[in-house]
Amino acid sequence: MIIGFLGTGVITEAIIRGLYDAADYDDTILVSKRSTTRSAKLAGDYPKVRVVEDNRQLTKESDWIIVSVLPEQVCDVLSELDCRPEQKIISLAAGVSLEQLHTWAAPATDVIRVIPMPPIEHGLGPVAICPADAGTEALFEKIGTCVAVSDEAQFNLFGAASALMADFFDQVSGVTQWMSEKGLQTSTAARYTTALYHALADLTVRQSAEGLHEMSEACQTPGGLNAQFLARRNKLGTKQSLTEGLDDILARLESATD
Ligand SMILES: NC(=O)c1ccc[n+]([C@@H]2O[C@H](COP(=O)([O-])OP(=O)(O)OC[C@H]3O[C@@H](n4cnc5c(N)ncnc54)[C@H](OP(=O)(O)O)[C@@H]3O)[C@@H](O)[C@H]2O)c1
């Protein structure tokens, strides 16, 4: 099977590297000749990656097309192509609805939305899929944890949660910086904080959905350090800012897909 990527940006590179480096992928991948340095480097690094001159040629040669241009570019890019009825069209574009994709990719009807995350390069992270599709899940399960829903409104919840990345990195770097401002060598501080966040994240994936809600409570000994820290943060509105921030992103995604 041949997969063609329309758009050779950051996330295309992460997926391709994930497939060849972190998984056992062995099929041909075509990339469009945009971001020329990146596409040439991918073709240089992986013998099964081939750069194709233009989008029409890429469409002609591909069994599946992964649309990986910016959301505002999707309409123009897809509309000028002659997709085939049997071709699978997988869009990564945030906020571009299935209805829009069906219109622009017609006569192709096998249209799927996917939200990968950058750690996919290392075979890690959630891959949200809508609607559920066995073929798409089989591909992305090689390099991530697939979560498929058929309802696009539910899919937007994953889109909202995908906006948590910067906040997470801010927290890790904020704690590291706080330690180094208190006199600890930055490399020592970073070694501690990255191991801490990594280990805590690892604990969460070992929990059941119910167990997840008990983890915070379980480490809040009355009068203890964790209880004091969380109480202080909650007093400052941390919990509220989390849900309100997610509500804001969800509203933005929902208005984009109206
Ligand atoms: N980055 C993420 O973590 C992430 C995660 C999930 C979903 N997404 C979605 O994935 C899509 C791509 O994101 P990205 O971060 O990879 O963006 P990006 O790095 O800006 O890549 C966009 C790519 O599209 C290419 N392009 C623009 N117009 C084109 C055209 N007419 N024909 C072919 N290629 C064209 C650009 O080429 P030039 O450089 O030559 O202009 C570039 O290679 C977006 O819709 C985004 O919502 C991204």
pLDDT given for residue 258 in this prediction: 58
Q: Could you read off the pLDDT of 191-232 as tens digits, one per residue?
A: 999 999 999 999 999 999 999 999 999 999 999 999 999 999
Determine the distance separating the centroid of ligand 1 and the alpha carbon of 232, expressed in angstroms.
41
Q: Ligand 1, atom 11: nearest CA belongs to which residue?
A: 68
Distance 34 CA to ligand 1 centre (A): 9
Specify the pLDDT at position 255. 87
CA distance 122 to 124: 5
Task: Give the pLDDT band (50/70/90) at residue 33.
Answer: confident
The values of phi and psi at residue 242, to 5°, are -65, -50
Q: Could you tell me which of 131, 129, 130, 76 has the C-alpha nearest to residue 105?
A: 76
Q: Which atom of ligand 1 is nearest to the CA of 34?
A: 40
Q: Mean pLDDT throughout 18-24?
A: 96
Residue 54 Cα to ligand 1 midpoint, Å, equals: 15
pTM of the complete model: 0.95
CA 77 from chain centre, in angstroms, equals 21
* Nearest CA owner, ligand 1 atom 48: 11
CA distances from 142 to 31, 125, 127, 130 (A): 20, 11, 11, 18
* Domains observed in the chain: 3-150 (3.40.50.720), 164-256 (1.10.3730.10)
pLDDT digits (tens, 9 = 90+) for 154-176: 999 999 999 999 999 999 999 99
Does residue 257 carry a pLDDT above 70?
no
Band of residue 24 on the pLDDT scale cut at 50, 70, 90 = confident
